[in-house]
Amino acid sequence: MTPGVLFVLGLIVAGLAGATIFVRLKERGRAGEPSELRLRIRTWWWMVGVLVAALLISRTAMIVLLAFVSFLALKEYFTIAETRRADRAVLFWAYLAIPVQYLFVGIAWYGMFIIFVPVYMFLVLPAVMVLNGETRGFLRAAGSIHWGLMTTVFAVSHAAYLLAVPPPGDANGAGLLVTLLILTEVNDVAQYVFGKRFGHRKIVPNVSPNKTWAGFLGGVGTTAVLSVVLCLALTPVELPIALLIGVLLGIAGFVGDLTVSAVKRDLDLKDTGSILPGHGGILDRIDSLTFTAPLFFHIVRYFYY
Residues 48 and 176 grouped into a single domain: no
- Residue 281, helix vs strand vs coil: coil
Q: What is the pLDDT of residue 256?
A: 94
How many structural domains are present in the chain? 3
What sign has the CA pseudo-torsion 121, 122, 125, 128?
negative
What sign has the CA pseudo-torsion 95, 97, 99, 105?
negative
Residues 172 and 290 grouped into a single domain: yes
**Inter-residue contact 300 to 176 (CB < 8 Å):** yes
Interval 196-222 mean pLDDT: 90
Residues 103 and 224 grouped into a single domain: no
Residues 204 and 74 grouped into a single domain: no
Residues 51 and 108 grouped into a single domain: no
Q: Which residue has the higher pLDDT, 36 or 117?
A: 117
Residues 262 and 301 grouped into a single domain: yes
Residues 88 and 197 grouped into a single domain: no
Q: Which of 135, 161, 187 is the last residue of a domain?
A: 161
The model's pTM: 0.93
- Mean pLDDT in the chain? 90
Residues 178 and 305 grouped into a single domain: yes
**Inter-residue contact 166 to 172 (CB < 8 Å):** yes
Residues 228 and 214 grouped into a single domain: yes
- Which residue segment(s) compose the domain that 10 sits in? 1-57
Q: Which of 161, 183, 205 is the last residue of a domain?
A: 161
Q: What is the pLDDT of residue 167?
A: 57
pLDDT tens string 87-107: 888 999 999 999 999 999 999
Residues 222 and 288 grouped into a single domain: yes
